[in-house]
């Protein structure tokens, strides 16, 4: 699934929290003490994290399957007149950089890995990510933690949620349903603001952090931390909504 159409147009309104993007960029930036260290973001989206890392002096290469999201990012790059972010349209499971370039940091945040519809594609993306990590480099994956989400559906077959966005004078109405395989959640969103209603679908394909860890460690990196958030709070299988899995390559 790619976040085109209406989702791309309202994405920054939904994920507008400056402190969230800042804490993500601070965590990732601390893994690159050299200002010239280069990073690869898989699922760069509208650049909410990449632009902050670029502001710290890091060149960023970003890949995303959504042309709509990249169009929003390109407008920002033009506005800020920065050449520090290099953008590519592509699937994180198949895209690879030209030449033999490796990166001090490869990362994917806010559940981008969960946009890939099958475990095989998620595995392929993780293997490719590992291959792009330089010696002594890092890989960081943030995604949804399956157990708390699955517990919601143990109680009801579907759920309905409404969220207010006062900064945009808008409301997001979401209907969620778990697929029969208990691995995918389909979210039917309606964004309502002064311009009317905009509808878009989101599909989340859950992957357990321990499966991610197993795949990554099979491909030459070591787990350096599993956290419940970007502040390095302890990960708890049953209560943590999102997880942050960090890995390091210590040898080839």
Q: What is the pLDDT of residues 200-217, one digit of tens each?
A: 999 999 999 999 999 999
Predicted TM-score (pTM) of this structure = 0.93
Count Cβ neighbours within 10 Å for each residue of 185-212 and write b for 16 or more, e otherwise. beeebebbeeeeebebebebbbbbbeeb
- Side-chain-side CA neighbours of 129 within 13 Å: the count stands at 36
> Looking at the structure, do residues 123 and 157 belong to the same domain, yes or no?
no
CA–CA dist 210, 135 (Å, integer): 23
> Looking at the structure, do residues 198 and 233 belong to the same domain, yes or no?
no
> Looking at the structure, do residues 82 and 171 belong to the same domain, yes or no?
no
Burial classification of residue 120, based on how many CB atoms lie within 10 Å of its CB (0-12 exposed, 13-18 middle, 19 or more buried): exposed
- Between 155 and 226, residue with greater pLDDT: 226
> Looking at the structure, do residues 9 and 124 belong to the same domain, yes or no?
yes
Burial classification of residue 115, based on how many CB atoms lie within 10 Å of its CB (0-12 exposed, 13-18 middle, 19 or more buried): buried
> Looking at the structure, do residues 138 and 218 belong to the same domain, yes or no?
yes
pLDDT class for 195, splitting at 50, 70, 90? confident
> Looking at the structure, do residues 196 and 240 belong to the same domain, yes or no?
no
What pLDDT is attached to residue 2?
54
> Looking at the structure, do residues 141 and 152 belong to the same domain, yes or no?
no
- Residue-wise pLDDT for 6-56, tens only, equals 788 888 888 887 888 999 999 999 999 888 899 999 999 999 999 999 999
> Looking at the structure, do residues 119 and 241 belong to the same domain, yes or no?
yes
Q: What is the CATH number of the domain that holds 102?
A: 3.40.50.150
Q: What is the CATH number of the domain that holds 173?
A: 2.20.25
**Structural domains counted in the chain:** 2
What pLDDT is attached to residue 48?
93
> Looking at the structure, do residues 55 and 84 belong to the same domain, yes or no?
yes
pLDDT class for 197, splitting at 50, 70, 90? very high
> Looking at the structure, do residues 122 and 173 belong to the same domain, yes or no?
no
The domain containing residue 231 runs over which residues?
Answer: 5-145+207-248
Phi, psi (rounded to 5 degrees) for 106:
-120, 130
Element (H, E) at 4: none
> Tokens representing 168?
């945009």
pLDDT class for 4, splitting at 50, 70, 90? low
């Amino acid at each position: 699934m790619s976040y085109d159409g209406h989702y791309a147009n309202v994405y920054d309104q939904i994920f507008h929290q400056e402190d969230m993007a800042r804490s993500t960029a601070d965590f990732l930036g601390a893994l690159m003490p050299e200002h010239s260290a280069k990073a690869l973001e898989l699922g760069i989206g509208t650049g909410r994290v990449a632009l902050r890392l670029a502001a710290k002096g890091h060149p960023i290469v970003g890949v995303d399957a959504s042309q709509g999201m990249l169009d929003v990012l390109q407008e920002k790059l033009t506005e800020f007149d920065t050449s520090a972010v290099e953008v590519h349209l592509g699937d994180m499971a198949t895209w690879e950089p030209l030449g033999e370039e490796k990166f001090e940091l490869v990362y994917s945040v806010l559940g981008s890995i969960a946009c890939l519809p099958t475990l095989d594609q998620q595995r392929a993306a993780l293997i490719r990510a590992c291959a792009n990590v330089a010696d002594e480099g890092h890989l960081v994956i943030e995604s949804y933690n399956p157990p708390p989400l699955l517990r919601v559906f143990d109680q009801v077959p579907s759920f309905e949620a409404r969220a207010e966005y006062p900064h945009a004078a808008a409301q997001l109405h979401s209907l969620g349903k778990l697929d029969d395989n208990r691995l995918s959640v389909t979210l039917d969103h309606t964004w309502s603001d002064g311009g009317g209603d905009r509808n878009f679908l989101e599909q989340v394909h859950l992957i357990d952090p321990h499966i991610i860890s197993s795949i990554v460690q099979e491909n030459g990196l070591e787990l350096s931390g599993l956290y419940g958030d970007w502040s390095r709070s302890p990960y708890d299988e049953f209560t943590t909504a999102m997880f942050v899995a960090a890995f390091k390559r210590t040898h080839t």
